[in-house]
Chains A and B, each alone.
Chain A
Amino acid sequence: DAGITQSPRHKVTETGTPVTLRCHQTENHRYMYWYRQDPGHGLRLIHYSYGVKDTDKGEVSDGYSVSRSKTEDFLLTLESATSSQTSVYFCAIKGQGERQPQHFGDGTRLSIL
Chain B
Amino acid sequence: AQKITQTQPGMFVQEKEAVTLDCTYDTSDQSYGLFWYKQPSSGEMIFLIYQGSYDEQNATEGRYSLNFQKARKSANLVISASQLGDSAMYFCAMREGGGSSNTGKLIFGQGTTLQVKP
CB-CB < 8 A to B99: which residues of A?
98
Main SS class of interface, A: strand
Task: Encode B102-118 as 1/0 by CB contact (under 8 A) with A.
Answer: 11111111110000000
Q: Number of residues in B with C-beta < 8 Å to the partner?
A: 26
Q: Number of residues in A with C-beta < 8 Å to the partner?
A: 29
- CB pair A42–B110 under 8 Å, yes or no, is yes
Q: Choose the segment among B13-21, B43-51, B62-70, B73-81 that binds chain A (4+ C-beta atoms closer than 8 Å).
A: B43-51
Q: When the two chains form the complex, which single residue of A92, A96, A101, A106 contacts B43, counting CB atoms closer than 8 Å?
A: A106
Nearest B residue (CB) for A88 = B43
Residues of chain B from 69 to 98 with CB closer than 8 A to chain A in the complex: 91, 93, 95, 98
Q: Roughly how many angstroms separate A10 CA and B35 CA in the complex, as a whole number?
A: 28
Nearest A residue (CB) for B45 = A104
- CB pair A42–B111 under 8 Å, yes or no, is yes
Query: Chain A interface (Cβ within 8 Å of chain B)?
Result: 31, 33, 35, 40-45, 48, 50, 56, 58-59, 88, 90, 92, 94, 96-104, 106-107
